[in-house]
Structure 1
Amino acid sequence: MNLSYYLETRSGHDAKKPTPITLFVRCRVNVGGNSKTQTVKLSTGKKIVAKYWDSEGQRIKPSYTGATELNSWLTTKKSAADKLLLLAGINNEELTSTRIKEIVRPLFVGSSIVEDSALSVWDVYEIFIETRSTQMVNSTIQKYKTNLSHLKEFSKEYKYPITFETLDHKFLERFVTYLIKEKKHINNTIEKSVTILKTFLNWATDHEYNTKLAFRKFKHVKEQVDIVYLTDDELQRLYKLDLTGKEALQKVRDVFCFGCYTGQRFSDIAKISREQIKGNTWNVITKKTKDIIEVPLNRYALEILEKYKGDEKPLPVISNQRTNEHLKTICKDAKIDELIPVTKFRGAEKIEGVKSKYDLIGTHTARRTFVTLWLEKGGRPETCMEITGHKNYKDFKKYIKITSKVMRVEMDNIFGSTPVMKAV
């Protein structure tokens, strides 16, 4: 069986006008003991001007506004038709042209060039993910896919029908309950899930798939998280740690320290090339925001680059996961083992514990270390934001650890050095 899309062109048709997109179903059937190929044509309800149609790929060309959404819709429908026809075959149904139309036609009922009422929330979410996959980093796309998976699991387990009409506050309460009781998620993880869901629903509304606006008042409590960063002394210990004979750990340490001395995301450090380095400046094209940032390289960053000048790449970066695993070992060896109280909330339940600092350190710690040490040493926030690429203070603040040292530096900068008072 073969399913293909074609434009339904006719003699004398105006090529400048939209042309119907038709699904052709070709399959072999047994007629009177003889095998025969039959072709069934079904209207999709969609139209496109011929110049935007890729006949070889059976897709809308990227130059057409809305191509990603429409291509995803066509793919979803063809996949569904294929599965339904395969199931009919497994059940030994006789696939006559009439029966094929009965099976497939409901998939396209109600479809038009602007009307997508037949699409389910799942269909639209898949279109959303495909659209964003060309614009966002893989880690963000994975979060969208995980969110969709949680929604489907919730719908199945709680027998809650998911439509745009049912995504109201009653839904939110049950969904949060599910994430707490079944997934054991803490409040901050739940807050991220709700935020991702709102991002999708805002997109669906903007693209006219959804008209229900109850979701705009969705919110969940977010707990304050203590920022983990390396002190200046800890960073120096790590930078100078003797890792002779441990080449893999040494490379991970160097890449991490480079992040601490430049303030850039691990994803951008992983993509660094020699063409981006001009003298003492690293011209970063950020993977997340596509911005171009000029990062002045200090002596520590330059020393690290010098160490690998003979290699093909400027830095020996390995995967994020493996880097995080090695970092815990390296930081433990560097005696970065301060005990840190950790408090989390799962709903109203308070979860307390204590962890060694090296267990809390990951690639994200480097960026937080850069920002905090910059402020501790009296650097201006606006200059730091230029280097890190933060566009607003709200996002920048997430990386700040306002230590007593930061407050002392700023106090002295404004009013002059404070003399040490003698005990009375």
Structure 2
Amino acid sequence: MGTIRFDLRKDMVSKKTLKSPLRIIYQIQGERFTIQTKIKLHELNWDLSTRLPVFVKKKDALKLNPNIDFELTLLDSVQIGNVLQEMNTLTSQIRNIEKRFEYNKQSYSGSDIIKEIKQQNGGKTHKDEAKELLFNFIDQYISDHLALREPGSLNIYKSVKTHLMAFEQHSKIKVKFDQIDYSFFAKFQTFLINHRNLGNSTIAKLLSTLKTLLSYARRNNIKISDSYKDFTIKKETLEVIALEQDEFNALYNLDLSSNKRLDQTKDVFLFACVTGFRYSDVAQLKREHIHNDVITITVKKTKTELSVPLNAVSASILSKYKENRRPLPVVSNQKLNDYVKELCQLAGIDKPQEIVRFRGNVREINLYPKWALISFHNARKTFASLSLEKGMSTEEVMKIGGWEDYKSFKRYVKVTEQRKKLVMVKAWGEVSNLKVV
């Protein structure tokens, strides 16, 4: 069976009614067809994430568009119900045609389905080029996952589309599903190095994302060459930047009583350092999440429940803001990242850090003061690193921080020089005053 979805043609909005036509997009065996319906809606009556019509109250509509003529332009609840019924009827119509072919043990194509639909409804259809299918498929993937993932995590898919379109324009090679094979990956990788000036780590992420899209397309009955699977993506081992204990202490002991902005930044950052929370975790934290010295929240990124016990540092920070409505004075992610750099520079966290990156086979080395490389997410890395250094087991750190498998966890772990000394002494004893000859 093919895939069916409804799409509001906002590019075809009527100047008179301000409504757009609704169409069906039918995809099967790598081909894409559109079927025009007689349904017309204003964009406020269309939920892009669910791809369903929605009723909008007058006061809400006027907030979004003060100039809208509510009675003439938007559908009431009864009309929304009628549209839903009509959409279900059209979907059932397509499924029934497919089932009839299957019951009669007849092979069928998208064209056969569309021919039947045209005969029954007289609707207009057209077959899209495979290239358009791929680019539209990326848009559809993003739309399908909006409700399941954080919007920011889907930006990489937009980047893949942008780079593929640039590759097509530069190489004159049509980017179509049936053209993406081992050779395509090799050419695309070379293009990203030579003409998009990207580093190997960024390229690896783009190519991995393209493979994810191809796997998703295959599960949606689109025919794709298997040879792309043989293309090996080389991933660099990136440096993990985390605070060492003396740097954590320098921040903790920094007197910022005269600078409220940085003092609050310090509290939120240190709180994350001792809990392993991401920005999305501290941003959603409410007082009802804290009970019996344990924070219990549903992690926004993974949608899993997490229970994190309070400790001396996190409890004292929460106590400092006990009169506030929210447990922590969290600002926007961008501001917090900027303030954290400023904070760490003020604390003297400036140990030189060598960052090595490859662009193709060219090795590039840059030296930065450590504060310039620290953002809020480094708090989570610090939690993993320092917790291990203080004697917590890998399993305990993973459980508290919400890491589900070691493969995803190990990239956050920075084995510090101090931890190496501790485990060596624990295993073999302390260094004596005797000279080692």
Q: Under a length normalisation based on structure 2, what TM-score does the superposition of the two structures give? A: 0.72
Judge conservation of contact 1:378–1:409 (CA < 8 Å) in 2. Answer: no
1:59 Cα deviation (Å)? 8.5
1:300 Cα deviation (Å)? 0.5
Is 1:273 the counterpart of 2:273? The answer is no
Is 1:383 the counterpart of 2:396? The answer is yes
1:183 Cα deviation (Å)? 2.3
1:244 Cα deviation (Å)? 2.5
1:385 Cα deviation (Å)? 0.4
The verdict on how the C-alpha distance between 1:180 and 1:22 changes in structure 2, with shifts beyond 3 A counting, is closer
Judge conservation of contact 1:191–1:219 (CA < 8 Å) in 2. Answer: no
The verdict on how the C-alpha distance between 1:421 and 1:139 changes in structure 2, with shifts beyond 3 A counting, is farther
Q: Aligned runs of 1:148-167 on 2, under 5 Å?
A: 148-167=161-180
* Aligned AA (2:246): D
1:256: which partner in 2?
269
From 407, 415, 436, give the equivalent of 1:394. 407
1:377 Cα deviation (Å)? 1.3
2:66: which partner in 1?
none
* Aligned AA (2:263): Q
1:423: which partner in 2?
435
Is 1:297 the counterpart of 2:303? The answer is no
1:206: which partner in 2?
219
1:182: which partner in 2?
195
1:23: which partner in 2?
37
Matches of 2:303 and 2:20, distance apart in 1: 39
1:164 Cα deviation (Å)? 0.8
1:412 Cα deviation (Å)? 4.2
Judge conservation of contact 1:187–1:346 (CA < 8 Å) in 2. Answer: yes
Is 1:218 the counterpart of 2:222? The answer is no
Matches of 2:247 and 2:85, distance apart in 1: 58
Residues 124-175 of structure 1: CA deviation (Å, up to 9, x unaligned): 1111111111111122112222222222222223222111111112221221
1:317: which partner in 2?
330
From 418, 421, 436, give the equivalent of 1:408. 421
Matches of 2:290 and 2:231, distance apart in 1: 45
**Structure 2 spans left out of the alignment, 5+ residues:** 1-13, 25-33, 41-79, 93-121
Higher helix share: 2
Percent of aligned positions with the same letter in both sequences? 31
Q: CA RMSD in A?
A: 3.0
2:21: which partner in 1?
4
* Aligned AA (1:161): K
The verdict on how the C-alpha distance between 1:59 and 1:257 changes in structure 2, with shifts beyond 3 A counting, is farther
The verdict on how the C-alpha distance between 1:152 and 1:55 changes in structure 2, with shifts beyond 3 A counting, is farther
Residues 371-413 of structure 1: CA deviation (Å, up to 9, x unaligned): 1111111110000000111111111100111233323333444
Judge conservation of contact 1:4–1:58 (CA < 8 Å) in 2. Answer: no
Q: Which has the higher contact order (CA 8 A, sep 6+)?
A: 2
1:3 Cα deviation (Å)? 4.8
Matches of 1:151 and 1:376, distance apart in 2: 44
Matches of 1:405 and 1:166, distance apart in 2: 53
The verdict on how the C-alpha distance between 1:59 and 1:224 changes in structure 2, with shifts beyond 3 A counting, is farther
User: What SS does the corresponding residue of 1:342 show, helix, strand or coil?
Assistant: strand
1:418 Cα deviation (Å)? 2.5
**Structure 1 spans left out of the alignment, 5+ residues:** 8-19, 27-52, 66-101, 111-115
Matches of 2:257 and 2:366, distance apart in 1: 35
Residues 172-224 of structure 1: CA deviation (Å, up to 9, x unaligned): 12211222223221111111111111111111111212332233233322222
2:183: which partner in 1?
170
Q: Under a length normalisation based on structure 1, what TM-score does the superposition of the two structures give? A: 0.74
1:229: which partner in 2?
242
Matches of 1:218 and 1:278, distance apart in 2: 50
1:421 Cα deviation (Å)? 4.2
Residues 55-98 of structure 1: CA deviation (Å, up to 9, x unaligned): 4468868xx99xxxxxxxxxxxxxxxxxxxxxxxxxxxxxxxxx
Q: Aligned runs of 1:64-83 on 2, under 5 Å?
A: none
From 157, 160, 172, give the equivalent of 1:144. 157
1:362 Cα deviation (Å)? 0.7
Matches of 1:283 and 1:420, distance apart in 2: 47
Matches of 1:192 and 1:244, distance apart in 2: 43
The verdict on how the C-alpha distance between 1:240 and 1:123 changes in structure 2, with shifts beyond 3 A counting, is same
Matches of 1:118 and 1:192, distance apart in 2: 22
